[in-house]
A = this chain, B = another copy of it.
Amino acid sequence: MKKFGVSIQTVRLDRLELGIPELRERLKLMAEQTYDQVRSLPLHEVIGDVIDLQLDKSGISIFEIKPEHVFSRTKIARGHHIFSQANSLAVAVIDDEVALTASADIRFIRPVRLGEKCVAKAYVRSGSQAGGKAHVEVFTYVGDEKVFQGNFMIYRTKTIEQDQTEGVDNHANSN
Contact = CB atoms under 8 A, between A and B. Distances in A.
Contact of A108 (B72, B76, B147, B174): B174
- How many copies the complex holds: the figure is 2
Nearest to A65: B174
Contact of A87 (B79, B101, B170): B79
Interface string A79-107: 11111100110000000001011111111
A78 interface: yes
B72 A42 contact: yes
Query: Dominant SS at the A interface?
Result: mixed
A41 B175 contact: no
A79 B90 CA distance: 12
Interface string A31-67: 0000000000110010100000000000000000000
A172 B71 contact: no
A73 interface: yes
A71 B76 CA distance: 27
A158 to B, nearest CB: 12
B111 A107 contact: no
B88 A80 contact: yes
Contacts of A126: none
Contacts of A160: 74, 76, 111
Interface of A: 41-42, 45, 47, 71-74, 76-84, 87-88, 98, 100-112, 147-148, 160, 169-170, 172-175
